[in-house]
Copies of this chain bind each other. A is one copy, B any other.
Amino acid sequence: MVENNDDRHVAGLGESGLLRLLLPRLHGAEMLLGPGDDAAHIAAPGGSFVISIDTMVQDQDFRLRWQNGSVSTGYDVGWKSAAQNLSDINAMGAVATSAVLSLTLPAETPVVWVEEFADGFSAAVRDLRATECAVAGGDLSAGRELSVSTAVTGRLVSAAPILRSGARPGDVVTVCGRIGAAAAGFALLESSVSEDQMNSVEHGFVAGQHRPRPNLAAGPLAADRGATAMMDLSDGLRRDLPRLAESSGVAVALDAQRLEEVAAPDLFEWASGFGYEPEDFLLRAGEDFALLATFPTGTELPECFTPIGTIIGSAAGGMVLLDGRPLEASGWDHFSQGRSQGSEKRPD
């Protein structure tokens, strides 16, 4: 049968396939770095800058009401929108200089939700110490579903941004920040365990899902210490590490012994109790906005960076090994509506 290309819908392509079609069709002035990293790098008179945009859509990226009866407040959504966009700038080794917001709101959205959104956004900028980030206000649109788009700019602290593509054989692979709280929080919110029934560890996990706390000092610090490649762990090691390996054209050997060191406190015990295989849960866990970075061997690592593996050689297309076996990439894909096995890779 002849395939009729005009019948294709976006659901059939997946996010990565769609980006592969879309990005080559976007043209404008030359930029220093195009799509494929956490932010783009733009030449400008007086100095270059990085810029990133991201949208959170109701029932895709957050729920107003979860399976277990919990609600996401406007404060939660505002916080998370700020945190994940600031993380993209952090992951380039840059310091955020401005954020602009665009809110799309159904007519029946309570006004108090919008007020809390602004409070949560502002609180994240303050509490995560994005002290140079101006919050440049608001575009409002009406729509049938609630969504938030945020664009953030940043200034570089080093001569160039730290890309996904810079890892070299011999480099040490590190993580800054603990992984798994946000994913455990997600699992709890989508379970039948109500907030009343949760213990304090579980409450902490839910807080990690609603209000992640990327370490915004760590990205510029890593750049300063000579990190060779960096990205944030928005989709989990199992999905993001293969992206870094592919961009850099290298093979990564993960050290299974070290993984528990970067897990959120009590995560492994909780995951076992909740019916997950702890290491697998950890590898799939995104949304903590921890940093994944590589450094030349022998680098005195900045305090929060923990080694979890080594770049063992070059590999066209990239490769990640765990205990000597290839790690299958998997994780979240917006258009496949769920977590999928396979080679889907999202380059943003």
Instruction: Tell me the A residues contacting B by CB distance below 8 Å.
Output: 5-13, 15, 18-19, 21-23, 25-31, 34-35, 40, 42-47, 49, 51-61, 97-112, 114-115, 117-119, 121-122, 125-126, 130-145, 147, 149, 151, 153, 155, 334-335, 337, 348
Contacts and interface: CB of A to CB of B under 8 A. Distances in A.
A231 to B, nearest CB: 15
Contacts of A21: 111, 114-115
29 contacts: A6-B112, A10-B109, A21-B111, A21-B114, A22-B137, A22-B138, A23-B137, A25-B118, A26-B101, A26-B138, A28-B99, A28-B122, A31-B136, A35-B137, A40-B98, A40-B100, A43-B97, A45-B155, A46-B47, A47-B47, A49-B49, A53-B139, A58-B143, A59-B144, A107-B335, A141-B334, A143-B147, A149-B151, A151-B151
Contacts of A99: 28
Nearest to A82: B28
A49 B130 CA distance: 18
Q: Which 5 A-B pairs have the closest CB atoms?
A: A46-B46, A35-B137, A46-B47, A151-B151, A40-B136
Contact of A136 (B42, B106, B144): B42
A5 B58 CA distance: 24
A118 B28 CA distance: 11
Contacts of A25: 115, 118-119, 122
A51 B98 contact: yes
A49 B44 CA distance: 9
A102 B31 contact: no
B45 A47 contact: yes
A53 B148 CA distance: 11
Contacts of A147: 104, 141, 143, 147
A194 B118 CA distance: 44
Contacts of A134: 28-31, 40, 42-43
B142 A145 contact: no
A90 to B, nearest CB: 16
A10 B153 contact: no
